[in-house]
Amino acid sequence: SAVISQKPSRDICQRGTSLTIQCQVDSQVTMMFWYRQQPGQSLTLIATANQGSEATYESGFVIDKFPISRPNLTFSTLTVSNMSPEDSSIYLCSDRHQGSYGYTFGSGTRLTVV
């Protein structure tokens, strides 16, 4: 399975600012996803990152708030924009290889907005 490097691992940010989270995969993958995990909760899909085109967002998540880039098959970024304390959460990237059933997760970014 792929190895995903995610950074930063944690950050404390001021409200109104933005944070960009990066994920790098060690081999080419078909699909990359971004999840949010609020404290004590399950994982909620934010969007599917599409290579070279706009991400596909889930209900309740919009591009202006969570812009996503995926310039190639091994790298993606998620930006949390104009942050408020409600954005405090863990953000995780995930991937799946072509023809494979398994999904792998990055180590997560613990974001605290003050």
Partner 1 sequence: GENVEQHPSTLSVQEGDSAVIKCTYSDSASNYFPWYKQELGKRPQLIIDIRSNVGEKKDQRIAVTLNKTAKHFSLHITETQPEDSAVYFCAASNPLGSGSARQLTFGSGTQLTVLP
Q: Which is nearer to partner 1, 18 or 99 (CB)?
A: 99
Give how far Cα 63 sits from Cα of 9, 19, 47, 96, 101, Å.
23, 14, 9, 22, 28
CB of 12 to partner 1, least distance (A): 16
Instruction: Please give the residue ranges that form the binding site for partner 1 (CB under 8 A).
Output: 31, 33, 41-45, 48, 92, 94, 96, 99-108, 110
CB-CB contact of 55 with 68 (8 Å): yes
Q: Which is nearer to partner 1, 3 or 15 (CB)?
A: 3
CA 93, distance to chain mean position in Å, is 4
Q: Which is nearer to partner 1, 20 or 100 (CB)?
A: 100
